[in-house]
Each structure stands twice: as structure tokens, then as C-alpha cells.
Amino acid sequence: MKISYKQRLTVSFCIILAGFTVGVAVFVQYREKIYKTEALEEKLDACADITGRYLDRHDRPAALFDSLSQLLPPDMRVTLIDLQGQVLYDNRLTPGTPLENHAHRPEILQAAQRGKGSDIRVSASNSRKYLYYAKQSGHYYIRMALPYDIQVRHFLKPGNGFLYYILALFAAGILFIHYVAGRFGKSIRKLRDFSMAVGSNTVNIADTHFPDDELGEIGAKIVQNYLQLRTNEKKIELEKEKTRKLKQELTGNVAHELRTPVTSIRGYLETILEQQLDPEKERQFLQKAYRQTLMLSELIRDMSLLTKLEEPSGMFHLQPVELAAVINKAAVDLAPALNAQGIEVTSDVPQDTLVRGNENLLYTVFRNLMENVVHYAGKNVKIVIAQCGEDDDFLHFSFADTGVGIADERHLQRLFERFYRVTEGRTRDTGGTGLGLAIVQHSIAFHKGTITVRNRPGGGLQFLFTLPVSR
């Protein structure tokens, strides 16, 4: 059986307290005995003095002792011894009883040296225990003795009051220890219950309230850490689940994106292989299949660019870039498409505006935004690019068009998601991969900037973004 902490503590303290109590009791008893023996000796001394004084005035000691015996306590033994140790008289013995010389009795030896002496021992003459007290008086030693076993022992018995007091203190001490050990043990018991509950995964936080002491504080801290750990575990679990879902979604999306062009290509090729087509028709089909392979290439290019943007590698190095030149290059490269739609590009970004960035990525940003205007904004619209402010480390830019915009605001929040398209069919026909704005956002984020999109008050879409200034 396991002994609980409380029991162990109580027992240990009880043993210490009992030892201490016994020690105090024995000491007090001993002191009391000495004190009472001294008091008794004083009485015997007084008796011896009286006897001595009577002895001086009487020439017949025997007669004196006979009458004196009437006055003394009935158990008192009186012995008269001469200076050589010869017993002259003893009120307890019949006269004439032969007695050995008393000169070497301890009390007589002490009396010879210091005038008085005492001893407690069994009498050689009647085998009873006596307290002997001897005093020299003139030519004699007067020895008084009381049986130590009856009256003296009774007399020496210490006042029991003190003993009861000590016992009461002992009992109170035990009760107190029991209470303290209980309180102390409570924290430990709670901690043990808690650790068991953790082990069996049945923690009930409402149960884990600790007493208000240091041990309780430790317990509360452990519980707090445990809760923090559980919260973190849950967070990690959620994060894992989120990533898992994202991956699943992405894989699904990629499969979906691949399926359309691959199915078309397969259809065209099957038709060519299985049917006798005239050369003109056959060429048309081959061209259509070819266009689908171009789309596939674009998709693969965009996907790998996004993957690279997500990798924390030094794939794209940063340098001061003249943004106006980058905008100009994109506009020039896209001029045929822009002109075909009647789109006009204006930019007020100063020639000397330098951002700290990767030129290729910045080119991709503007090219994607311009291509989107070509594809989705409508004919004869304007693209207005502006530098619209700066703060400590970033320059603020706006890219706006005056086209159709996106009527349903709910689409705006999701515009930067991979493969998100406002109108599936229409946008797919324009040949977009659905990754354009995801690439734009990742490119801006790569530069530690941010990007938002909104419908312009006057119509059209407006992107607001920041890029780090190069000083």
C-alpha cells in the first residue's frame, strides 16, 4: 500500500513532536525530583537540627529519642552515630542489635567532609529503600531517614498538572500538524490527480483549482503551460488541416485546368487520325490543337513562376529598378494588343523613381495587369498609372483602367486566388490561366509590399500597391 504524502508528513511530524514532548516531560520530571528531594532534605535538616539541640541538653540520648519519636513522622528513622561511625542509637532497631560501622556510608562520609550529606539506597539492616540525611552535631552524626518508596515517592511525584498540560499541547500539536499536512497534501494530491488525468486524457479544467500557496502556484503554472500546449497543438493541427485542404484544392484545380486543353487536343488529333479530312480542314484542326499546347505551356510557366515565388530561395535578386522604364517596356511589348482594343496607357511615374526590386518580376506585374485590361476591361479604355504617395520605406502606386470593372463586389476579395475567374466561360475563352493576379500579388509580396483592388468610382478596376523605395 502506498503511503500518501499527507500521512508521511503527519507521521514524521508526530514522531518529532512525540520525541520533543517526552524529552520535555523527562527533563521537567527530573528537575521536579531534584527540587522536591532538596525540599525534603531541608525538612530532614530542620528535624536533625532540633534533635541536635535537644541532644545537647540531655545526657541520656535513648530517653530523648524515645520521646522525640512521638513527635516525628511515624515512618521517620533516626540514627545517632558517633564520630568514629559507631551506631549509638536507632529508633527502628531493638537496642543491642549488632550493627557494622557506619563511617563509610555515603551520607556520613559527606557529613564528615561538609557537615551534612544525603543518599538514597536500600538499607542493609531492613532491606527498605531510604532517603538518608546525615548532619554532624557536636560529637555525633545525627542521621534522619524516610522510606523512599511510600511517602517520599508519593511526595516526589511531580504535580500532574504540568504533565496534562504537556499532553494537551501534544494533542493540539498533532491536530495542527494534521491540518497543515492536509493543506500541504491537497496541492500535491491535486497535482497528482491532474498528472493522472493528463495521462488518461481526461483533464477537467474546472477541477484543477489549487490552494493559495507556493505549491498551488506551481500547480497552477503547470496547468497553464499544459493549456497553452494544448492550444498550440490545436493551432498546429488546424494549420496542418488547412495546408492539407489547400494542397488538395490546388491539385484538384490543376487537374481541372489541364483537363480542358488536353481534352481538346486529343479531340482534334483523334478527328484527324480517324477521319479523311481535306488538307485545309486538317490544317485548321492542327492549328487549334497547337493553340491549346501554347495554353498548356503558359499554364506550366505561370505555375512554376508561382512555385518559385513561394520558395524562400534567392532565385530573384533585388536591385534598384527604374519603374517608369519597366512600365514603358510592358506597354511597348503589348502595343499590338493594346492598339487593337483602342487602349491608351498613361503613366505619371517619374523617370527617376527607383524601387528596390527584381526587374523581371516587376515587368510581369505590369504586363499581367495590362493584359487583363486587354482581356476583360472592354474596348477604348484608358490605363492610368500613378505614383500616389510614400511612407518611410515604401512608394505607393495606383494602376487603374476605365473599363467595365467587376460589378459584383464579392468577386473582388477572391480575385487574387489561384485559378479564380469572375466568369468561367468568358475568361477561359480569352486564354487566361487564372493565375495572372495570383502572380501579381505574390510578386508584390515578394517585395514586402501589399496590393488591394477596388472598383474605381468612375468605373473600371483600380489596383493600389506599394513597393520598397531604393535610396
Pick from 421, 441, 449, 462: which binds ligand ADP (CB under 6 A)? Answer: 421
Stretch that binds ligand ADP, among 152-160, 226-234, 236-244, 367-375 (CB under 6 A): 367-375
Q: Which stretch binds ligand ADP (CB under 6 A): 47-55, 137-145, 282-290, 420-428?
A: 420-428
Least distance between ligand ADP and beta carbon 382 (Å): 12
Figure out which of the listed residues 376, 394, 397, 465 binds ligand ADP, where binding follows CB under 6 A: 376
261 lies in the binding site for ligand ADP (CB under 6 A): no
Distance in angstroms (rounded) separating the CA atoms of residues 48 and 362:
128
Does residue 338 belong to the site contacting ligand ADP (CB under 6 A)?
no
Judged by CB under 6 A, the residue of 111, 134, 384, 437 near ligand ADP is 437
Q: Which H/E stretch holds residue 400?
A: strand 394-401
Q: Count of CB atoms within 10 A of residue 398's CB?
A: 16
> Distance (Å, rounded) from C-alpha 231 to C-alpha 233?
5
Among 10, 372, 402, 443, binds ligand ADP (CB under 6 A): 372
Burial of 282 (0-12, 13-18, 19+ CB in 10 A): middle
Nearer to ligand ADP, 357 or 436 (CB): 436
Give me the residue whose beta carbon is nearest to ligand ADP.
432
Q: Which of 137, 427, 462, 466 binds ligand ADP (CB under 6 A)?
A: 427
CA 152 to each of CA 23, 155, 159, 214, 330: distance values in angstroms, whole numbers, following the listed order: 24, 5, 14, 56, 126
Is 142 within 8 Å of 65 (Cβ atoms)?
no
The count of residues interacting with ligand ADP (CB under 6 A) is 24
| Largest CA-CA distance found in the chain, in angstroms, rounded | 178
Q: Is 442 in the site for ligand ADP (CB under 6 A)?
A: no
For residues 261 and 405, which CB has a smaller minimum distance to ligand ADP in the complex? 405
Q: In what order do the strands lie in the sheet with 461-468?
A: 344-347, 382-390, 394-401, 461-468, 451-455
The strand pair at 382-390 and 344-347 is best described as parallel
Q: How far is the CB of 291 from ligand ADP (least distance, A)?
A: 16
* Smallest separation (angstroms) from ligand ADP to the CB of 448: 22
Q: Which is nearer to ligand ADP, 177 or 377 (CB)?
A: 377
185 scored as a contact of ligand ADP (CB under 6 A) = no
Alpha-carbon span 145 to 117, nearest angstrom:
12
Contact 383, 346 (CB under 8 A): yes
Which spans of this chain sit near ligand ADP (rule: CB under 6 A)? Answer: 368, 372-373, 375-377, 401, 403-406, 415, 420-422, 427, 432-438, 461
